[in-house]
């Protein structure tokens, strides 16, 4: 028992020590790019064709390497600044995977199985593009969006961009202080809400004219918020991974992990529940590499960043529950089909 505890603890620490640097790089990088990439210019050049738009949106992750916590606010801003739905949805689903840091981390974990790295990228891109394309059939987005964003979209349709910085104040149906969040008071007449979501929005919305020191402070605060939040989820995720490895009898794990269908189901369920950040989820999956089918590891790596418990909470900031249900259903089915194909015919 003592030895088991020791093994679990060593496993737990090794996951954390290996993942922490990637988390730091991911958080810093996404903060920096939000600071320096001009979204408005990019949106003006988006392709009009829905399929191309969805594909393009799926690849914006290379410009905004955000985790699945950062992608929701960015997708939300894209929508509010008038980006078409396929682009925003493609981005929402693919950005956590299709970005250099996540690909690097996946490569670090699975350098013995390069096919996992490649297929992760290909499947994520394909699924995000397909779903983005499907959603392009919905011409009027307002029924599936939260009212605040819907109203904002109507505003865009009727008149040009009124003011850029105050998007968050405008959309708020309740006074700022009645909403949850962290606030800075006493700096302007308006309290500024301080949580990761808003920090990132503020970061991106900060006009270049603002002094560099202010922007750097926002970057620092954003880094700390994200490290804290995502770090805590990482700790919990690693604890779960380590406990499963040690506490669940090997026969059960082998039984679930070797079946082509049961293994995919199990890993998708884990992906949904564990909510580990996409920058480091490859290390979580790695601890199952010896017992689970390659297809199921892929299912975890493709499905997890798109939809999980934590992500659903954040997505409610954009979509009505019905839309999230569609997104979830489509993503789950496509992931299942793709990875089952891998299990049965490829590896």
Alpha-carbon distance values, 136 to 67, 108, 126, 156, 319 (Å): 24, 36, 15, 18, 15
Enumerate residues 6+ apart whose C-beta is below 8 A from 112: none
Among 250, 255, 322, 344, binds other proteins (CB under 8 A): 250
The answer to the question of residue 194 lying near other proteins (CB under 8 A) is: yes
The answer to the question of residue 243 lying near other proteins (CB under 8 A) is: no
Q: Are 232 and 61 in contact (CB under 8 A)?
A: no
Range in contact with other proteins (rule: CB under 8 A) among 52-60, 95-103, 153-161, 224-232? 224-232
The answer to the question of residue 271 lying near other proteins (CB under 8 A) is: no
The answer to the question of residue 111 lying near other proteins (CB under 8 A) is: yes
Q: What gap in Å lies between CA 135 and CA 98, rounded to an integer? A: 20
Q: Are 97 and 126 in contact (CB under 8 A)?
A: no
Written as one string, the DSSP assignment of 132-194 is HHHHTT-S--GGGB-HHHHHHHHHHHHS----STTHHHHH-SS-GGGS-S-EE-SSSSSPEE-
Residue 53 beta carbon to other proteins: minimum distance, rounded to whole angstroms:
30
The answer to the question of residue 326 lying near other proteins (CB under 8 A) is: no
Range in contact with other proteins (rule: CB under 8 A) among 34-42, 45-53, 163-171, 192-200? 192-200
Q: What gap in Å lies between CA 166 and CA 121, rounded to an integer? A: 36
The answer to the question of residue 279 lying near other proteins (CB under 8 A) is: no
- For other proteins, the binding residues (CB under 8 A) are 3-4, 6-7, 9-11, 13-18, 20-22, 24-25, 28, 108-109, 111-113, 180-186, 194-197, 217, 220, 223-225, 227-229, 231-233, 235-236, 241, 245-246, 250, 283, 286-287, 289-290, 294, 310, 312-314, 316, 347
């Amino acid at each position: 028992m003592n030895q088991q505890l020791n093994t679990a603890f060593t496993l737990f620490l090794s996951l954390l020590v290996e993942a922490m640097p990637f988390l730091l790089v991911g958080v810093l990088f996404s903060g920096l790019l939000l600071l320096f990439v001009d979204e408005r210019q990019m949106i003006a050049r988006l392709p009009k064709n829905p399929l191309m738009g969805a594909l393009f949106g799926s690849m914006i992750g290379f410009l905004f390497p955000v985790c699945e916590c950062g992608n929701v606010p960015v997708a939300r801003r894209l929508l509010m600044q008038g980006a078409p739905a396929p682009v925003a949805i493609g981005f929402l689903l693919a950005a956590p995977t299709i970005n250099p840091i996540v690909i690097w981390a996946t490569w670090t974990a699975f350098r013995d199985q390069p096919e996992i790295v490649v297929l992760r990228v290909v499947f994520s891109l394909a699924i995000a593009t397909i779903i983005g394309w499907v959603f392009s059939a919905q011409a009027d987005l307002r029924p599936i969006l939260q009212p605040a964003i819907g109203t904002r979209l109507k505003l865009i349709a009727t008149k040009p961009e009124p003011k850029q910085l105050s998007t968050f104040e405008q959309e708020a149906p309740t006074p700022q202080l009645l909403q949850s969040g962290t606030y800075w008071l006493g700096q302007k007449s308006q309290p500024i809400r301080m949580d990761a979501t808003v920090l990132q929005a503020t970061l991106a919305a900060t006009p270049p004219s603002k002094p560099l020191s202010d922007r750097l402070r926002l970057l620092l605060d954003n880094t700390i918020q994200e490290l804290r939040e995502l770090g805590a989820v990482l700790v919990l995720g690693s604890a779960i991974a380590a406990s499963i490895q040690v506490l669940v009898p090997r026969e059960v794990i082998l039984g679930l992990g070797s079946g082509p269908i049961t293994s995919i189901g199990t890993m998708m369920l884990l992906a949904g529940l564990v909510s580990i950040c996409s920058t480091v989820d490859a290390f979580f999956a790695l601890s199952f590499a010896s017992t689970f089918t390659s297809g199921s590891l892929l299912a975890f790596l493709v499905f997890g960043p798109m939809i999980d418990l934590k992500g659903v909470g954040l997505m409610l900031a954009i979509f009505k529950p019905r839309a999230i249900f569609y997104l979830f259903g489509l993503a789950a089915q496509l992931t299942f089909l793709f990875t089952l194909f891998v299990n049965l015919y490829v590896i």
